[in-house]
Structure 1
Amino acid sequence: MHAPAARGRDRACGWGHVPVSLPEFSVRQIVLVNILFVVLMVAGWGAATRIPVDLFPDISFNAAVIITVWSGASPQEVERLVTQKLENEIEDITGIKEISSYSSESLSEILIDWDETLSEIEYESAVADLRAALDRVDDLPEDAETPFLRELSVSEAFNICMVAVVDKGDVGEFTLREVARDLKDHLERIPGLNRADLRGTRDRELRVLADKYRLAQYDLTLADLHRVILENNQNVPGGSFTDANDQEIRVRGLGNFVSAEQLAQTVVKKDPGGSHVRLVDVAEIESGFAKQRMIGRHNGDRNIMLGLSKLADKDIVDLVSEVRALIAVYGKTVPEGVELKVTWDGSQYVSARMNIMRNNLLLGVVFVVFILWLTLGFRNAMLAIVGVPFSFLVALILFPLFDITINSLSLVGFIMVSGMLVDDAIIILENIYRHVEEGRPLREAVVAGTEEVMWPVAAAIATTIAAFIPMLTVTGTTGEFMEVLPKTVTVCLLGSLLEALVILPAHYMDFGSRKKASESLSMSRQWPRIVQWSYGLRLRTERAIERLRERYIRGQRRVLAQRGPFLLMTVAALWFSFGVSCHVPVDLFPGDFNQIMVGVETPADFGLDQTDEVILGLEAALQPIRDELLDYSSYTGFSMTADENPVAGVNYGMIFISFPNSYANIANPDRVLRLVKDEMDQYQAAHPDKIVSLRVAPPRQGPPIGKPVAIRIQTDEYEQAKDIADQMKRALADIPGVYNIEDNLPVGPRELRVALDEHRASLHGLTFQDIAFALLAANDGVVPSTFKDPRSDEDVDIRVMLREDQRTSISDLLDVEVRTPAGYRVKLSDVVRIEVDRGYQRLYHRGTRRTVTVYADVDRDLGTSLSVNQIMQALFRDIPSRYPGVSVIFGGEYQETDRSISDLKRAFGIALLAIFGILAAQFRSYLQPLLVMSVIVFSFIGVIIGMAIMNLLVGGYALSFYVMYAMVGLAGIVVNDSLVLIDFINKARDRGASPIEAVVEGSRKRFRPILLTTVTTVTGLLPMAIGLTGYSRVFGPFATAIVFGLSVASLLTLFVVPTLYLTLEDGKTALAQRFGRVSDGIGEGLPPPIRSAGS
């Protein structure tokens, strides 16, 4: 009679004044909770459709680059007159961590590394200071271009795809160029595309090819032609006047050339008799292109390439789809003989790897569902598993707040927690189910079962979060790159906690099991056979778990009876794992790839055509393995340095090779790399005189950490640094597994150094500027002006130079004439001295000091970056004493690794302190947190043994930086089971049980949850660990570390933690017998911890 009224009062006080727990609120406000659940799920799904997809997080490199072009200048001139002046102006700007630069022919590049600790406001202020400093530099050479500043990020630095405009029918360079330029304009209109960079195209120009004999015949010089063209190709304002109607009219003098014919008829020397000398009388006018400095091919056909990059917040898959759609339509309009082709598709690379991650995630979830169904029943399994998509979708809602995209690292975070997300639900459901089995009313069972474990569950999630959050303290590009992982794990676990404490109790009221397992299973006999079979399987699983639990209790009693020997054996196993760790290969930053770069340097005196012959030969050498490859594109006149910076020069070449994204290639791309390297090495061995260096390597993926070996030699003299670099290269060649050995100070081609004979020049009134102008005009030519082509609306340079057949030797250049202030002509040979020497092609600075860097790669099967650098440090530790003033810095991967590992150690220490604090608050004890945390140390046994086993059976499982991240995160995961176990032992002690009785009771009650939470987490990660739907060499070992570490830790939780608990009790008893009653810090002597209502 009173029940309805009571229910009415419950509804009335749903927002009542009496404080209620979260579980009690949930069961009172079921409608509100269900509305909240649906709203969050829908919002999360909407967020998922808006978050961009990419392979890696878009991080800022904390870097900017200053580019200055000075056409025709040598590397030494660029270094002295451009690079050093800019460095001196910017080196004192606050916020700059390091300045590095290189000077090459016609180009200065200065890289600014910013301090990672700068706030956003400080960073913007520093960039503004940098721009202001560049504006203050006013003494650069007159013909040098204005320095250009560009900030660097992942999305803008890497191409999302490459598009080739291929000449398949000898259509010619002009047609190919017009198609490529027009396609570029169309592509850059796609929203989200940052830019489309043309590679292999040349600017149009009108060349005025002067005949030096005709110039002499008419008393003219190249400077005269330059002056006349400049004077006659101008629009000059002529002021304005007012006409008879009082209207103002502007006057402009038009002198623009509109055609090559008009240019040819320009008068260059007037004759009073009317026999004027025109440009056509002393020169040939030729329409063409600028000097060829690069040759591009795709699969052997000449081409122009477009490299596409995207904006940071755009989805690579959607963007490349738009690019392909545009190319499909635009390709129908191109001239016959022109083919458009996407030669490398970054979205396919991303999709293939993201599909592996997604498939591993889905398969892991399926495994978890199956385990839950077997052990908890269909209803409880569905109640538990709903927390997985709910937590994922809640996380996706929060992703934009933390600048997280859907990428490989965020998916790894999802996979990592996919099994963990059901752990809290399992603990709560199992406890509710236990109360239902005891015959308590449903609502009372739900509230009491949830409240009883609510604080241990919250503490367990807090300890896991506490293990991951300190990872955000790792600095550098590696830390910024990896910070997505702890952020993803944290938001997922918070979503899981919300679901477990608020959503789950309400759902159990609506859908949870009301009957005992035996009653539920007996009802299944009325159902179809498949259902009966499935429930029979469930019943057998329940019996198997029960038998396993009884065997465990018997085994635990034997272990507890021999506590000392068991603990000694456990410590011995720990030491054994340390010994095994020496045999686990180390690859701190592994990566997968589907591209291979072949970089070539030919002798310094080789021209573009000679280098192109070498590139053609290397392309031919690929034919025996052509079936293994997709495409290859080559560039003659362009390459990448060892640290993957672009470099131009006629004696450089590069071949980009792509191969299929098959699961086999993703799992072991080194197989294709070895095939390519073998073919390239054979060609080099057959043509040793044509190749100075040949480098075969994949492009670097992930955070930009540098080469495995990058030894920087800093000094004031390049010759001294070069000598030390040669010594180091010889030493590296003797270390097994070291290859691609080179330095970044290549000798340049022969250099004609022209010195002014000041005495003879002064007699004629000539300056060095007069001489330099004449040399430049004769050789590369000078551009006095441009004209606008009316057909293409394009600005075309007018270049004045000597005919090609009159500038083939030193004597030809010395025969060039220059006009003196007195008006007569003098040959250069009369006023200059000539020296032939060699310089360097590129000059590097680090921290404004001249620097030479020795680079090398390391075969991971034979050595590591750490081992090789340690050998080199031992061999060359005496450099400062042998060469005073010289500094040697071991950088690249070794330096980044050293810094990142130091940061990771600090993060691990912070994590341990945070976990200890949370456990101390939970247990109100000093020793019990240490007892719970003891499994962290022993979990590392599983990590090392697991890695060794998988590497022995399968191969490719190395101890990487990602595995170290997993070990830090594992610290927060493995304590969860021991936390709840100790909590139940404490409750048994509170009820008056003896230590041994409390341990056995707590172990018996927690065996099933510990087993289930371990199995679900392990099965959730198992597909990624062993690569059931495709193996990732980056994240496979990451998952393996957690699988084995958690498995061993859970086993030790069931035996080591109870053993340690009783060992501490033994110590307390011994102390009490000797000194009287002792407060042990385990729990006695302190106020009892606050218990939930269900306790």
Structure 2
Amino acid sequence: MKAAKSFLTHRPVAVSMVFLAAVVFGLLSYQGLPVTLMPELSYPTLTVRTEYPGAAPEEVENDISRRIEEQLGVVGGLRRMSSISRAGVSDVVLEFAWDTPMSDAVQETLEKLDLVLLPESAERPLILRFDPGLDPVLELSLSGEDERFEGEEGLRRLRRLAELQVKRALEPIDGVAAVRVRGGLEEEIHVLLDAQALQRSRLPVQQVIDRLGQENINVAGGTLKEGRTEYMVRTVNEYVNLDQIRATVVATVEGREVRVGDLAEVRRSHRDREIMTRTDGGESVQLDVYKEADANMVALADRVRERVGELDLEAERARARGETVERPRNLLQRLTGGAGGGSGRRGPSLGGATLSADLYRSEGAVLTVVSDRSEFIEGSIAEVRNTAILGGLLAVIVLYLFLRNLVTTLFVAVSIPISLLITFAPLSAASVSLNIMSLGGLALGIGMLVDSSIVVLESIFRCREEGDDLVASAIRGAKEVRSAVIASILTSIAVFLPMVFVEGIAGQAFGDLGLAVVISLLASMAVALAFIPMLASRRGWTLPERGSTAARLRRYAAWEAFRRDAAALFGWARSRNPLIGWPGLVPALAFVSVRLIVGSVLELVAKAILLLLAGLAFLVARLIGPVLVKAFTWLSRGPLIVVRRLLEWLSGVYPVLLDRSLRFPVAVVAVVAVTLWSSWWLLGRLDSELLPEVRQGEFTIEVSLPVGTPLAETERTLAAVESAILEEERHIERLLVTYGYDVTNTQRSDEGEHTARFKVLLEPVQAAAEDEVVERLRRRFESTPDASSRVSRPVLFSFKTPIEVEVHGEDLDRLQEYGDRVRDLMAAMPELADVETTLKRGAPEVQIVYDRAILNRYDLQTSVVAQMVRNQIEGFEATLYNLRDRRIPIVVRLAEEDRRSTDQLNGLVVNPGGERPIPLHAVADVAVGEGPSEVRRIDGKRVAVVEANLGDASLGRAVERIEEVLASGIEWPADMSFLVGGQSQEWQRSSASLWLALGLSVFLVYVIMAAQFESLLHPLVIMFSIPLAFFGTLVTLYLLDVNLSIVVFLGMIMLAGIVVNNAIVLVDYINRLRARGLPRRRAIVGAGLVRLRPILMTTATTTLGLLPMALGLGQGAEIRTPMALAVIGGLVASTVLTLIVVPTIYEIFERLREALSFSRERSSRPATASADATGPAGAVAAQGSGP
């Protein structure tokens, strides 16, 4: 170690270069780290989506979902499997364990899906590498500005542009899982059959469908060789216009050709409308960009913008080729009438750039980014970065107030940036992103980074005061506290090791934070034990004295080079043959002389320029410098006096208080007992939650009208509310409205034409203002007749609601009954809000029940008749119509006037071509009823999920109340049960493992201290600081009304390693003083007095370093603030109590140890004396009693 210390103090350049290299690599790594809001907190997820057109939810469950579940249940790494069977679509969601390789999971899932036998009419299952329940990363709006985008044709045009241009451009981008297009009108060619004409011709609908498919063909016919040429043979017989469709011959009836035009009207139309999207009051087409499960959200948003810019350049080139186009304006400019680029919060709008030459030809098309979640992430990360910088500055100010020396302060302060920059290289190697947790860990450790440097520098200065020179004091000062510093760092690091036992979201979220803290603390230890001693040993450097003109001349680099070269050349000449050496010296000297002259001139010019700049800087400094110095002196005088007086007062009061505590230890033990009991009492009164709710500047109001309300009626009913919201100017930046639903992409079971979603984007406002907007809009919807509303906010992970009660059973009717009873009981609880069940009444439906006996009598099959009814009512896609760059479905069905009522349905002919027409009502019962909206399954069992948001209670208290009410309020049958899931289930898993990790952390801290002190007793003394810290944390949480959550637990676990540091240094110095011969009482008081200032300094720097984070300012503060408050409260309380309690407990334990030693000595002395006294007599007696 002596050699190492000698190297550190005598090789300052080498030490500086090592740290400089580490800093440079850290800086480069920092620039390349990805940026995310939080670590990946959603379980790795795959969604298997299968479309089954026209099927009811129960059919989808039996024919699709069950079969897929049976095959996928054995996929490796599967944690949970659930399915949702809705009308026409099945979603099977697979949740995997955290460490599951998703590429392997996808491959195995594909292999299992190949074994599933599905109905012929079902589409091929698709694997989506994202959870469709999560919010999109980017939301784009495509709208028109002129009359060409009005009406049905304009909406069809917008939809085409969105699908053919925007969607195709964005989906290939790395990290984009899907681009979902919503709104507008989807083109179709409709062949609308006349029921009477079909009946007269006695032709079935299926024959029309078959003929259209047979005539519209484009197939390969092989190859034909003629001479030396080989031709490809193709049959090109596709429809090129609607007249060809009309002229298609369906059949020949009584010698007359019956064509499609004789039976139907053929026209260009659109798919039946089920969704309508509006942006700021104008109808639009919206595009949602979803990320893959492992994609970087911020990087993905940047790539999307970059791709848009590339397409914009393509459009510019198209205009340069002579195409006359008009560059569309930014949508926000059009709305506000301004010339600027719009709100800074939403980022640069894409409305100023359409996406390709084709899009530019549609002159009035405007594409705008209306929502970008990556901006909130960037803002949150920037806030964490700013709080860390501000915390570091506050820590440095505190150091200056304590040390009262600017150079010394800078010595310690330099450890902060060096340690932080060194940290980023290992973080990059570990694939850790910049997120709230990793940067929060660095911000939490800002104050801790200087603790080791403070202890080392204070020890070095104390050695200087004892008479050591610069180098000796640096070596001895660092050596004396080396073991204490290492032990302190190890205890701070050890608390993170048990996190391998933490399950669920807590373990995943804690990893980045723990790694950041561990690496930064190790870096700070290296700085404290290597860099600080090197700096301290250099502090005594003196400037060179003024010399003569010749001496100044010798300082020129050119002269030094000349002198060096000349000496080398003369040495070379003397060492060579006289015939070679001296003649060769002449040209060499000429060359060196020229280099001297040129180099001197260049050097003089350069120095003249530098001298001029230095002179200007000197002039400015002379003018402003004294003012700044006086201002700094005047501003710092007051705080310096206050801190000095406070330290002087504490130095006088603390020894007296400590001496009295040592004399009356029972009082101190009583205080400890009271704090422990208070901690237990407070713990039972704190509320709990999984993660604090993070406000991202937007919210969604989901509105529902009575089931069965048509889309047009939904839009008409809620249009007044939409207009009223648009007229609101306070705090609302943008409004996105979706009426109805997309049947292939809907994520909620209760969505339909009777529902609407109002997404409100806010200006940057405080939480109170956001709550005011929410309540104001909620009241508007409550005043709308027959409308119910529910408010939701963007989520950070996959659970949509805090409370999800799963009602398990197999019978759907009983599931709905008990689900409704659970919903009613929960709705009456003030702790909950927005209670609803997923198993609701479905849309009104016409149910057809066929009589098999009658069908057999007429030689009809049930499947054939059902398909016939479906073809006539819903229609059937007969073939595809090629139109340049797209293929449009040709749909055959009855004309609208022939399918308006149940009477017309009853009259459908089920035996076209028969001698006597048979209507549907003759072979089936047709009745109006309703089916379930969905069938949901979790791990192979049917469930009804009752969801709720929190009202006037925390998550933990709400769960306790729900379990109590449902257990006592409902008599559950043997085949039915309930389970409280959602965030509450995750909290229970995480909290149990967090308590285990906390206990293991305390144990490891004890193990490390026992190894350092080589004692089992002294670590127990130090351990008393941990419960004192937890008392301070719980008091802080209780007074500030902060709930227990994962982030609070993280702060408490981290606190267990921090608070023992002061006690370690204190006990270590007590032992050192006792080893020097001081009595125990004097050693305790003396050590406390010597270590008082370093302990207060480290506590103040850590506390003030966390203060900006604890204030809860900026985006994402909801996550950072509880963690900072937990550490600050515990550290302050522990410091105050540790200065008294730890020395007193030390005294008590030493008294007990001495008492036990004395007792053993007393018990051993009489036995020894008795043996000595009776030995001879016993020997004589034995002798006398012998034979």
Same fold (TM over 0.5): yes
Name the CA distance, whole Å, in 1 between partners of 2:445 and 2:994. Answer: 21
How does 1:337-486 map onto structure 2 within 5 Å?
337-376=364-403, 377-486=405-514
Give the partner amino acid of 2:166. Answer: L
Secondary structure of 1:291's partner? coil
Cα distance, 1:470 vs. partner? Answer: 2.2
Name the CA distance, whole Å, in 1 between partners of 2:639 and 2:828. Answer: 63
Pairing partner for 1:253 from 235, 238, 243: 235
Between the two proteins, the alignment pairs up a number of residues equal to 1027
Deviations 1:992-1026 (A, max 9, x none): 22211111121122111101000000000011112
Deviations 1:371-405 (A, max 9, x none): 11222322222222222122222221112222211
Give the partner amino acid of 2:50. Answer: T
Cα distance, 1:514–1:464 mapped onto 2, change above 3 Å: farther
Give the partner amino acid of 1:353. Answer: S
Cα distance, 1:678 vs. partner? Answer: 4.4
Deviations 1:571-621 (A, max 9, x none): 223433444455555444212221111112222221222222344244245
| 8 Å contact kept, 1:66–1:148 | yes
Give the partner amino acid of 1:842. Answer: E
Q: Does 1:54 align with 2:36?
A: yes
Give the partner amino acid of 1:973. Answer: I
Q: Does 1:301 align with 2:282?
A: yes
| Stretch of structure 1 that moved more, 816-825 or 456-465 | 816-825
Name the CA distance, whole Å, in 1 between partners of 2:970 and 2:636. Answer: 77
Name the CA distance, whole Å, in 2 between partners of 1:848 and 1:1015. Answer: 56
Q: TM-score if structure 1 supplies the norm length?
A: 0.88
The CA RMSD over aligned residues, in Å, is 3.0
Give the partner amino acid of 1:976. Answer: N
Structure 2: runs of 5 or more not aligned: 309-347, 544-624, 1165-1187
Give the partner amino acid of 1:848. Answer: G
Cα distance, 1:333 vs. partner? Answer: 3.4
Give the partner amino acid of 1:1049. Answer: S
Deviations 1:941-987 (A, max 9, x none): 21122223334xxxxx3333211221111101101110111111111
| 8 Å contact kept, 1:1027–1:1036 | yes
Q: Does 1:761 align with 2:788?
A: no
Give the partner amino acid of 1:576. Answer: S
Cα distance, 1:513–1:288 mapped onto 2, change above 3 Å: farther
Cα distance, 1:225 vs. partner? Answer: 0.8
Name the CA distance, whole Å, in 1 between partners of 2:1055 and 2:1035. Answer: 15
Secondary structure of 1:509's partner? helix
The equivalent residue for 1:676 is 774
Name the CA distance, whole Å, in 2 between partners of 1:218 and 1:535. Answer: 103
Pairing partner for 1:751 from 842, 845, 849: 845
Pairing partner for 1:772 from 852, 855, 866: 866
Name the CA distance, whole Å, in 1 between partners of 2:137 and 2:803. Answer: 28
| 8 Å contact kept, 1:357–1:408 | yes
| Stretch of structure 1 that moved more, 830-839 or 645-654 | 645-654
| 8 Å contact kept, 1:640–1:647 | no
Q: TM-score if structure 2 supplies the norm length?
A: 0.82
The equivalent residue for 1:935 is 1025
Cα distance, 1:178 vs. partner? Answer: 3.1
How does 1:124-273 map onto structure 2 within 5 Å?
125-138=104-117, 140-152=118-130, 157-170=134-147, 171=149, 172-181=154-163, 182-188=165-171, 193-243=176-226, 245=227, 247-270=229-252
Name the CA distance, whole Å, in 2 between partners of 1:743 and 1:928. Answer: 58
Secondary structure of 1:854's partner? strand
| Stretch of structure 1 that moved more, 202-211 or 534-543 | 534-543
Name the CA distance, whole Å, in 2 between partners of 1:651 and 1:531. Answer: 68
Q: Does 1:877 align with 2:859?
A: no
| 8 Å contact kept, 2:202–2:912 | no
Give the partner amino acid of 1:722. Answer: Q
Secondary structure of 2:80's partner? strand
Cα distance, 1:337 vs. partner? Answer: 4.3
| 8 Å contact kept, 2:831–2:958 | no
The equivalent residue for 2:1061 is 976
Name the CA distance, whole Å, in 1 between partners of 2:1029 and 2:779. Answer: 45
Structure 1: runs of 5 or more not aligned: 1-18, 516-523, 952-956, 1080-1095
Name the CA distance, whole Å, in 2 between partners of 1:644 and 1:105. Answer: 12
Secondary structure of 1:906's partner? helix
Name the CA distance, whole Å, in 2 between partners of 1:564 and 1:334. Answer: 89
Q: Does 1:99 align with 2:126?
A: no
Name the CA distance, whole Å, in 1 between partners of 2:375 and 2:627. Answer: 51
How does 1:841-860 map onto structure 2 within 5 Å?
841-859=933-951
How does 1:704-723 map onto structure 2 within 5 Å?
704-723=798-817
Name the CA distance, whole Å, in 1 between partners of 2:1114 and 2:842. Answer: 51
| 8 Å contact kept, 2:176–2:289 | yes
Cα distance, 1:527 vs. partner? Answer: 12
Cα distance, 1:723 vs. partner? Answer: 1.9
Name the CA distance, whole Å, in 1 between partners of 2:172 and 2:44. Answer: 28
Pairing partner for 1:67 from 30, 34, 49: 49
Name the CA distance, whole Å, in 1 between partners of 2:706 and 2:167. Answer: 35
Cα distance, 1:189 vs. partner? Answer: 6.0
Cα distance, 1:1077 vs. partner? Answer: 8.1
| 8 Å contact kept, 2:86–2:749 | no
Cα distance, 1:450 vs. partner? Answer: 0.9
Secondary structure of 1:1034's partner? helix
The equivalent residue for 1:6 is none
Name the CA distance, whole Å, in 2 between partners of 1:326 and 1:1036. Answer: 35
Give the partner amino acid of 2:28. Answer: G
How does 1:596-615 map onto structure 2 within 5 Å?
596-615=699-718
Q: Does 1:836 align with 2:928?
A: yes
The equivalent residue for 1:330 is 354
Identity of aligned residues (%): 27
Secondary structure of 1:650's partner? coil
Cα distance, 1:1037 vs. partner? Answer: 2.1
The equivalent residue for 1:734 is 828
Name the CA distance, whole Å, in 1 between partners of 2:955 and 2:660. Answer: 48
Name the CA distance, whole Å, in 1 between partners of 2:220 and 2:1039. Answer: 83
| 8 Å contact kept, 1:765–1:821 | no
The equivalent residue for 2:8 is 26
Cα distance, 1:328–1:151 mapped onto 2, change above 3 Å: same
Give the partner amino acid of 2:114. Answer: D
| 8 Å contact kept, 1:320–1:347 | no
Max Rg structure: 2
Cα distance, 1:655–1:531 mapped onto 2, change above 3 Å: closer
The equivalent residue for 1:1083 is none
Name the CA distance, whole Å, in 2 between partners of 1:59 and 1:740. Answer: 25
Name the CA distance, whole Å, in 1 between partners of 2:645 and 2:464. Answer: 19
Cα distance, 1:277 vs. partner? Answer: 2.3
Name the CA distance, whole Å, in 2 between partners of 1:640 and 1:1009. Answer: 67
Give the partner amino acid of 2:372. Answer: D
Cα distance, 1:422 vs. partner? Answer: 0.6
Cα distance, 1:964–1:1077 mapped onto 2, change above 3 Å: farther
| 8 Å contact kept, 1:375–1:538 | no
Name the CA distance, whole Å, in 1 between partners of 2:494 and 2:371. Answer: 42
Give the partner amino acid of 1:346. Answer: R
Name the CA distance, whole Å, in 1 between partners of 2:24 and 2:1045. Answer: 38
The equivalent residue for 2:270 is 289
The equivalent residue for 1:967 is 1052
Cα distance, 1:441 vs. partner? Answer: 1.1
Q: Does 1:799 align with 2:881?
A: no
Cα distance, 1:354–1:210 mapped onto 2, change above 3 Å: same
Name the CA distance, whole Å, in 1 between partners of 2:930 and 2:178. Answer: 38
Give the partner amino acid of 2:491. Answer: T
| 8 Å contact kept, 1:764–1:820 | no
The equivalent residue for 1:569 is 671
Deviations 1:253-298 (A, max 9, x none): 222112222212212223686x532211211111122111111011
Name the CA distance, whole Å, in 2 between partners of 1:360 and 1:537. Answer: 26
The equivalent residue for 2:315 is none
